[in-house]
A and B are shown apart, each in its own frame.
Chain A
Amino acid sequence: MSDTPDKTSPSFEMVRTLGLVSVICGIIIVGVYQFTLPAVNANKKLALERQVFKVLPQAKSVVPYFATGSGIVAAAGQDLPPAGAVMFYAVYDAADRLAGIAAEASSSGYADQVRILYAYDVDKQAITGIGVIAMRETPGIGDKILTDQAFLQNFAALDVRLSADLQSLANAVKTVKHGTKTSPWQIDAIAGATVTSKAVGRGINESAQKLLPRLWPHLDQLRKPS
């Protein structure tokens, strides 16, 4: 074995070829990434806004934030969320006032994760609307959570006020059997689509229990238009 690689040795040729292939491919990928990035970002922003506008019709602009144990930070410009952070969106209306908070909730339904976006009204301390981001529930049964008017009525004002110590919700959000809703923090399940209804309630409860106590002390920070 000689120390200097022989030009015709197969291992040199292999390394050279793989190197060449990698360089060509690298250039192609970087070029395409640069070229499509603006369009991709614009698309993502549009998709997010469309989702948010569905649950908060008075919205005009959306700013993403992270809520961590110690406070809230704007998500813009950060590549990775801080450890344990919960993402949420501060939503402003035409007059730049805080119209509400939107956040994602997810829980496993009948077929797969049910991912929903819910709107939180700061003044009412209530959830005022939900929209579905993604789900694979049985068409005609599970997807009634989008169309069943009686079910959507649960989210006209779903009570999620905080307990006195501000550490958790005063009343856990809970999905109850169809026709047995008695309190404003309960969700009346759709008859025949109980599993999906429960997934919605569980997801909202988990997300709100985590997000709202962190968010509440810093609401003033969001009220000032950034």
Chain B
Amino acid sequence: MSALVKLADVSKRYADAIALHATNLSIERGKTTILIGPSGCGKSTLLRLIIRLIEPDSGSIEFNGEPITADTIGALRRRIGYVIQEGGLFPHLTARANVLLMARHIGKSEDEMRNRLADLCDLTRFSVNLLSRYPVELSGGQRQRVGLMRALMLSPELLLLDEPLGALDPLVRAALQKDLKEIFARLQQTALFVTHDLAEAIYFGDEIVLMNDGRVVQKGSVTDLREKPADPFVSEFINAQRGVTLT
């Protein structure tokens, strides 16, 4: 099992605080890796460093063996899908235009785009009839499905999800969790999934990375975390959400 993404001694500080201490981490191919931790623990920072919305102060990040730099990120972003809360859809474009935006930009053929779009609608259970709607005309769950389609459009090797289901009500959230898990399995998708919800982490996670205060505290399966906590914080975090870990 080889790592798709490798972080070596990557750190990031903002003017007043350290967001991420020097961190080493590998994201395994074909697995769903969960980044979990309390607010401000550095999990989103880590994700944003990989897609290079922010630049690391030190260390290096490799994607598929090649370093991610300012020069290479342009091409790499097409091989990485990025999904955020609410989907991050552009309000002036229809669902279809949102999904096809990047494919059009790099000049994919109409045929290819049409076929891919049909496949994606199928995969994400999104009705083709809704494609001509604008984001405001869609429900939160529908918007998230469109956001997912947009991220998957170019068949990315890596999918980054930053609390994608955070703003949804429980029923919609449960349905989407189920669909997402199926999609990941079907595509054998390498995914890095940020959440603060332990139940969600357990539901998805092959690998769980627990973070606190800008550091990785422990990496492993949920059983590892529960039975061999590396740190008192691990037990504390798991016990705090005990009610739902019993599922």
Are both chains from one complex?
Answer: no
Chain B residues near A (Cβ < 8 Å): none
